[in-house]
């Protein structure tokens, strides 16, 4: 297999949290590293692509397709003897093509995860060179380890990795990430290469499940400046170790809608808080007394004038009405008091005289 030189509270709360973490840790059993067994094996498919060329590489593309297999032949203590074989086919948009097949044997350490004697066709790495196809599955999230000459960090112990061999098949993996840079000096030219590399391992055995590698090269080819992108993607097509199924990660339109609704909810909450703060400040302002007058502010405002009616009574005095009293006498028939000006009694109707 060819990797094309992949880069070398408060105190009480805090105490309570520490006690909780200690209690959880006391009840969690550490996962031990897997011990390789004779017969462990995997087949893989690998695609290497060069594209996005600029300058001397403008318009250029090529692709290498690799299929291979690796198998554990024997185990003696921590020394594992394995065999490898692969075949590859290369083609470019310039019409060139080639093919190659390679096989061999090598030994590696199941405790140090380094090559001991020989490699599976790896070259250009400083010693010790760490294997690319296995890691210690007991490592926790945040722990680091080395692949070839690149340091990786464990990102997840439950990453859903999609296997292209079957539609919509996802398996549970350990996800790790490595970054680095190196100087490329090969048939592509002399380039400064910067890469990001994700690897995915089986959580039980620590064996490879797949990886995704992307590299950006900037430099020159035959004295002419240029740049290109180099990608290498690999996944297993068959394994002796069982892979645990996993659910597809939340992506696409549903994930987008979920993010949208979260965003809307956050905006609504912020608006509610702003309105509540504004209302509270308004209530506080209404309850405050007026600012008292102080001599430094100049003379006080004029005192308000008494309330005056706006009704115009006119210039003439109102007319006076004089009410005169009228003498009354008793009706000689019923005794009711009747005015002397009346001709008849209003009660009995008898004449006044």
100 with 65: CB under 8 angstroms?
A: no
β partners of residue 99: 89
| Measured distance CA(236)–CA(165) in Å, rounded | 8
Is 17 strand, coil or helix? helix
Q: What is the pLDDT of residue 309?
A: 44
Phi, psi of 263 (to 5 degrees): -60, -45
Is residue 332 classed exposed, middle or buried when 0-12, 13-18 and 19+ CB atoms within 10 A define those classes? exposed
Q: What is the pLDDT of residue 328?
A: 74
| CA end-to-end span of the chain | 151
Question: What angle is formed at CA 199 by the lines to CA 137 and CA 48, rounded to 5 degrees?
Answer: 150
Q: What is the pLDDT of residue 349?
A: 76
| Measured distance CA(59)–CA(332) in Å, rounded | 140
User: Per residue of the chain (353 residues), what is the pLDDT tens digit?
Assistant: 444 434 433 334 333 333 333 333 333 334 457 899 999 999 999 999 999 999 999 999 999 999 999 999 999 999 999 999 999 999 999 999 999 999 999 999 999 999 999 999 998 888 999 999 999 999 999 999 999 999 999 999 999 999 988 778 899 999 999 999 999 999 999 999 999 999 999 999 999 999 999 999 999 998 899 999 999 999 999 999 999 998 887 654 444 444 444 444 555 565 767 666 656 555 544 333 333 333 444 444 444 444 444 444 444 555 555 555 567 777 777 777 777 777 788 777 777 66
| Measured distance CA(298)–CA(285) in Å, rounded | 24
Counted residue by residue, the chain has a size of 353
Tokens of 286: 């209404």
């Amino acid at each position: 297999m060819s990797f094309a030189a992949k880069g070398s509270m408060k105190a009480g709360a805090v105490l309570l949290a520490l006690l909780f973490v200690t209690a959880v840790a006391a009840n969690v059993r550490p996962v031990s590293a897997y011990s390789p067994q004779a017969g462990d094996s995997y087949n893989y498919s690998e695609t290497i692509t060069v594209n996005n060329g600029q300058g001397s590489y403008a318009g250029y593309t090529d692709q290498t397709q690799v299929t291979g297999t690796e198998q554990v032949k024997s185990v003696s203590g921590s020394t594992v003897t394995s065999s490898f074989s692969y075949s590859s086919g290369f083609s470019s948009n310039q019409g060139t093509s080639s093919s190659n097949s390679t096989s061999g044997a090598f030994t590696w350490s199941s405790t140090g995860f380094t090559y001991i004697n020989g490699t599976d066709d790896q070259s250009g790495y400083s010693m010790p060179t760490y294997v690319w196809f296995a890691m210690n599955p007991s490592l926790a999230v945040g722990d680091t380890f080395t692949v070839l000459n690149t340091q990786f960090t464990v990102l997840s112990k439950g990453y859903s990795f999609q296997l292209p061999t079957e539609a919509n098949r996802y398996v549970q993996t350990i996800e790790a990430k490595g970054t680095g840079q190196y100087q490329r000096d090969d048939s592509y030219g002399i380039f400064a290469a910067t890469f990001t590399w994700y690897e995915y391992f089986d959580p039980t055995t620590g064996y490879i499940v797949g990886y995704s590698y992307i590299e950006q090269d900037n430099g020159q080819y035959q004295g002419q400046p240029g740049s290109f992108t180099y990608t290498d993607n690999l996944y297993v097509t068959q394994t002796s170790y069982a892979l645990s199924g996993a659910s597809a990660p939340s992506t696409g339109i549903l994930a987008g809608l979920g993010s949208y609704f979260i965003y809307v909810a956050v905006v609504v909450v912020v608006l509610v808080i702003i309105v509540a703060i504004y209302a509270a400040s308004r209530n506080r302002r209404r309850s405050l007394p007026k600012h008292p007058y102080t001599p430094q502010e100049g003379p006080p405002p004029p005192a308000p004038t008494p309330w005056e009616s706006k009704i115009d009574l006119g210039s003439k005095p109102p007319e006076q009405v004089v009410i005169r009293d009228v003498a009354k006498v008793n009706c000689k028939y019923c005794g009711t008091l009747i005015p002397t000006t009346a001709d008849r009694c209003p009660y009995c109707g008898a004449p006044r005289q």
